[in-house]
A and B are shown apart, each in its own frame.
Chain A
Amino acid sequence: MKWSVLTLVGADQPGIVAQVSQVLADADCLLGEASMMQLANNFAIMLRVRYPDTVSLYEVLTPVAQALGLHIHIDEDASDNGEQPEPDVHITVYGADRSGIVAQVSTTLAQAGLNITDLETAVSGSRDKPIYIMTIEGTAGRGVTALQQAILQLSDDIEVHLVEIETLRG
């Protein structure tokens, strides 16, 4: 058995997840972590799959991908299924939309030691006054204080709030 990371992207329509997961199940593939979402009129699947060495994922997926108009990308994944880093900070960012918000924020935070584990963004607001909203979770490699200081350096037109995540174990 081996792992691969599978990416499928195409125009959204009902039944993509059902049909893709069915052909994978029929080929004795096991699904791992996944992130699947609508991105405007597209649907994107990012999925870890574990499958027998004798299986060609590409051959398994090509018929369904062609039928649904999905692009396939497969990367072999040598990493084991070990523990994931636990995010310890949650950062929300929002402001009037303009180019460069993600670049500015992520660069500044990366320099202060942030390793992003999850990032989601949305464009909202009215058509003539769009706002950009981003939520980030990650690990503060050089401590939370370094990140808080870095946030102070960011420009005034965006709101950035950092909350420490204390994971409860009980």
Chain B
Amino acid sequence: MALEILTYPDERLKELSQEVEYIDDSVKAFIRELEQTRIAGPGAVGIAAPQVNVHQRIVIVDVSNTRKPCDNHGHMIMINPETLEWDGMAMGREGCLSVPDFTGNVIRAEKFKCRYQNPAGEWIEIQPSGFEARAIQHEMDHLDGLLFLDRLVSRRTDLFKRKVYK
């Protein structure tokens, strides 16, 4: 069953989420509900636990099915995700299930390295880039009480597409 999604200005979206210590059956059951909620959201490539008022460090990201195909690691359930390194900046347009009817430009790291635990508790390290890196950063922000509204840049802020000189 899809869970109720908190929408801004609900203050609970600004709370810090706690680390998951034990990935037990109740956590796994919650992850299933979180995934059903993501799928029910219109075109959502990700969702974070605090968006459904569960303040645990869990996000789901899946950019394998976008209109414009992009590099991806498939469907990821990311528990206790951590950023290890990041590089480059890119601007992109974002919207959020928790901020209906608004999209805006946000600058994110172009690529980064992160690690997370999968539902089996194993640590996985990945180096996502582009759209997938953006999606993971967007979801990880939720765990720290940040919305893309906190990172909006003006329409006039433009990062020209880099030309590669050979």
Chain A contact residues, CB within 8 Å of chain B: 83, 86-87, 92, 118, 120, 135, 137, 161, 163-170
Interface residues on B, range: 20 to 34
- Return the chain B residue nearest A118 by Cβ: B155
Given A86-B103, A92-B161, A163-B161, are A169 and B156 also a contact pair (CB < 8 Å)?
no
Which residues of chain B come closer than 8 Å to A135, judged between CB atoms? Answer: 158
* Interface status of B18 (Cβ within 8 A of chain A): no
Query: Interface segment, B8-16, B25-33, B80-88, B91-99?
Result: B91-99
* Interface status of B46 (Cβ within 8 A of chain A): yes
Which residues of chain A come closer than 8 Å to B48, judged between CB atoms? Answer: 170
Number of A-B contacts (CB under 8 A): 59
Closest chain B CB from A170 CB (angstroms): 4
* Interface status of B116 (Cβ within 8 A of chain A): no
Partner of A169, one of B70, B96, B158, B160: B96
Partner of A168, one of B42, B95, B161: B95
Chain B 133-161 per-residue mask, 1 if CB under 8 angstroms from chain A, else 0: 01100110000000000000001101011
Q: Are A169 and B41 in contact (CB under 8 A)?
A: yes
Q: Are B158 and A168 in contact (CB under 8 A)?
A: no
**B33-56 interface with A by 8 A CB criterion:** 41-48
Closest chain A CB from B77 CB (angstroms): 14
Closest chain A CB from B105 CB (angstroms): 9
Which residues of chain A come closer than 8 Å to B47, judged between CB atoms? Answer: 170
Given A86-B103, A164-B68, are A169 and B161 also a contact pair (CB < 8 Å)?
no
